[in-house]
Homo-oligomer: A and B are copies of this chain.
């Protein structure tokens, strides 16, 4: 418990540019956290993608609820990208986070920000109940996820 807490603190320090040495358990915890947060995000985005594609009937209430969660979750994963937690950092945890992130931190942050903006807009649009607008914003949000994955995540 204690390790997790101090890690969260260290994570937020790191995100503001202060590099702090991590021990192995903290790095492992941070990787698992970001993976959990991103999975939770993906699950909640799922029904929106399905509605947009016509694989699920449009349900305005469900869409608004999912979009709200996507917005909430969009800010959570990033503190898990602590120093020493990328591929090739010798932490021994499986991660798809390419070492390249460390050389292009600014670009990585820009893509996080873009996704958060799209997710915030998604929540707004979904609350309005206009399906055509929702479909467009689901695509824009999905694209902002993909843009980051294309550059910084190992291909599956």
A4 to B46, Cβ gap below 8 A?
yes
Which residues of chain A (6-53) have a CB below 8 Å from chain B? 6-9, 12, 29, 32-33, 35-37, 39-40, 42-44, 46-47, 49-50
A76-B40 contact given A8-B47, A12-B62, CB 8 Å threshold: yes
Inter-chain CA distance A2–B55, complex, in Å, is 7
Inter-chain CA distance A143–B54, complex, in Å, is 43
30 A–B contacts, CB within 8 A, in A order: A1-B46, A1-B49, A1-B50, A4-B42, A4-B43, A4-B46, A5-B46, A5-B49, A5-B55, A5-B56, A6-B55, A6-B56, A8-B43, A8-B44, A8-B46, A9-B47, A9-B56, A12-B62, A32-B39, A33-B39, A33-B43, A36-B37, A36-B39, A37-B40, A40-B40, A40-B73, A40-B76, A69-B72, A69-B76, A72-B72
Besides A40-B40, A44-B76, 9 new A-B residue pairs in contact (Cβ under 8 A), listed by A number: A2-B55, A7-B46, A8-B43, A8-B66, A9-B56, A29-B43, A33-B43, A36-B40, A37-B43
A interface, over-half SS? helix
